[in-house]
Amino acid sequence: MDSIGERFINETKKIEINESDQAKGISPPSLQSPHDKGLKKIDLIAIENLKMAKKDITKLINQRKSNRVYSEDLLTIEELSYLLWCTQGVKKIISNISTKRTVPSAGSRHPLETYLAINKVESLQKGLYKYLCLEHKLIMIQEDLQIMEKIVQCCNNQKFISNSAVVFIWSVNIYRMKWRHGERAYRYVFLDAGHVGQNLYLSAAVVNCGACTVSVFLDDNLNKLLNIDGKNEFVIYMAAVGKKMTS
In CATH, what number is assigned to the domain containing residue 166? Answer: 3.40.109.10
Q: Is residue 21 part of a domain?
A: no
Would you say residue 17 lies in a domain?
Answer: no
In a domain, 18, yes or no: no
Q: 34-43 contacts: CB < 8 A, separation 24 or more?
A: 35/130, 35/132, 35/139, 36/139, 36/141, 39/139, 39/140, 39/141, 40/139, 40/140, 41/132, 41/135, 41/137, 41/138, 41/139, 42/124, 42/129, 42/137, 42/138, 42/139, 42/140, 43/137
Whether residue 37 is contained in a domain is answered as: no
State the 10-residue block means of pLDDT for the chain, 247 residues long. 91 81 94 92 95 92 96 97 98 95 97 98 98 97 97 97 98 97 95 98 97 98 98 98 89
- Can you give the pLDDT at residue 247? 63
26 assigned to some structural domain: no
Domains contained in the chain, number: 1
User: Virtual CA dihedral for 237, 246, 159, 115, nearest 10 degrees?
Assistant: -30
Is 198 domain-assigned? yes
Q: What pLDDT is recorded for position 58? A: 96
Whole-number pLDDT of residue 17: 65
State the pLDDT at residue 201: 98
Contact 178, 31 (CB under 8 A): no
Residue 9 maps to a domain: no
Enter the pTM of the model. Answer: 0.96
How high is the pLDDT of residue 19?
84
The predicted-structure confidence for 81-125, as pLDDT tens digits, reads as follows 999 999 999 999 999 999 999 999 999 999 999 999 999 999 999
pLDDT in tens, 215-231: 999 999 999 999 999 99
Q: What is the pLDDT of residue 32?
A: 95
In angstroms, rounded to a whole number, what is the distance separating the alpha carbons of residues 117 and 147? 7
pLDDT at position 15 is: 82
Amino acid of residue 70: Y
Residue ranges making up the domain that contains 161: 42-243
Q: What's the maximum distance between 2 C-alpha atoms anywhere in the chain? A: 59
